[in-house]
């Protein structure tokens, strides 16, 4: 709720700063009959990422129905409005409630989603960074991509990772969590295997390209040329702005995305500040805030069920383990 209030305040300031009358005039002139297509592209993004989430759960051995993983994914969409999206770790908690799977097994999936999506966005923005060089954006993209790739390489060098885990096991405080750290590593190792990473990355590329195209339609609606170059530039603007918003670690990237989007739209299309601001706000309501709305509805429908009963489920799993051991004996 605090994040929502801050976003509304920010949008109000942006609207007044850019010229309220010009902004409202631009919105009135926008072809609103295009809105279903724009929202449809966003929903396509959500569906692709939902299926990838379910597939990743299966990869690490979680036995769960598509219905339950879908409900968990839906509730998790509300958590993008937490700083740095750390609230999305709630998905691991809900998986534990439903299946009894330890959070240490599924938490790496949440992190992997963010890493893979970040790489996909940087790849999509890469063409734009070459065509429209901007030192600051290029530096941010290069640093973030380097961190992602270094982490993935370290995870896949198994002897190095196991040696680090063995060292952690001998540390005074950390040794108590060494078993959980090993489970976290095993899940991360599976997800970032070359084949699995390739599949997940391809899904991310298609999903985030779709939202970039949605932004392209928004820009065309506000007067940008209706051609492929506009769509390619829009994909660049949308994805590099999303990365910059993520780097700021603000809830939902609010502020970072909007500022970057307005800057690039004004620079590359020569649009007035008011029109660029209108385009940024409209695409955010059709992407970020649509997802938050889906998350809010999911939370109201299933939040109580998915967030309750962790202790009971854990006790049931422990009793089952004891019974299995007794039968083996």
CB 302 within 8 A of CB 53: no
H or E segment and range at residue 128: helix 103-131
Between CA 241 and CA 125 the distance in angstroms is 9
pLDDT of 13 > 90? The answer is no
Share of the chain above pLDDT 90, in %: 35
Question: Over the chain, what is the mean pLDDT?
Answer: 81
- Closest residue by Cα to residue 141 from 241, 15, 280, 222: 241
Enumerate the domain spans of the chain: 33-304
Task: Report residue 155's pLDDT band, with 50, 70 and 90 as the boundaries.
Answer: low
Instruction: Find where tokens 């800057």 sit.
Output: 263
Predicted pLDDT at 142: 67
What is the reported pLDDT for 217? 95
Grade residue 174 by pLDDT with cuts at 50, 70 and 90: low
Which pLDDT belongs to residue 256? 85
As given in the structure block, the two tokens for residue 65 are 């129905």
């Amino acid at each position: 709720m605090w994040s929502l209030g801050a976003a509304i305040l920010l949008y109000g300031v942006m609207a007044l700063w850019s010229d309220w009358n010009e902004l409202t005039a631009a919105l009135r002139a926008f072809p609103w009959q295009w809105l279903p297509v724009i929202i449809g592209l966003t929903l396509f993004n959500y569906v692709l990422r939902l299926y990838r989430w379910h597939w990743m759960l299966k990869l690490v051995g979680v036995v769960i129905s598509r219905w339950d993983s879908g409900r968990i994914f839906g509730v998790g969409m509300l958590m993008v409005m937490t700083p740095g999206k750390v609230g999305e770790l709630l998905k691991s908690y809900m998986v534990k409630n439903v299946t009894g799977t330890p959070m240490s097994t599924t938490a790496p999936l949440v992190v992997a989603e963010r890493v893979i999506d970040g790489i996909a966005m940087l790849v999509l923005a890469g063409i734009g960074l070459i065509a429209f060089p901007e030192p600051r954006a290029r530096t941010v993209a290069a640093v973030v991509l380097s961190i992602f790739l270094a982490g993935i390489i370290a995870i896949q060098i198994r002897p190095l990772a196991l040696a680090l885990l063995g060292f952690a096991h001998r540390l005074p405080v950390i040794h108590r969590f060494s078993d959980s750290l090993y489970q976290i590593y095993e899940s991360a190792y599976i997800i970032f295997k070359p084949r699995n990473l390739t599949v997940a990355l391809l899904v991310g590329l298609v999903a985030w390209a779709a939202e970039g195209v949605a932004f392209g339609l928004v820009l065309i609606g506000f007067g940008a040329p209706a051609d492929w170059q506009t769509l390619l530039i829009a994909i660049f603007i949308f994805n590099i702005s999303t990365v910059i918003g993520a780097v700021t670690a603000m809830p939902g990237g609010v502020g970072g995305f909007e500022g970057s989007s307005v800057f690039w739209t004004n620079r590359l299309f020569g649009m007035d500040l008011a029109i660029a601001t209108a385009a940024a706000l409209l695409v955010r309501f059709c992407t970020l805030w649509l997802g938050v709305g889906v998350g809010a509805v999911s939370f109201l429908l299933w939040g109580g069920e998915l967030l309750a009963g962790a202790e009971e489920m854990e006790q049931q799993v422990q009793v089952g383990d004891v019974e299995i051991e007794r039968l083996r004996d």
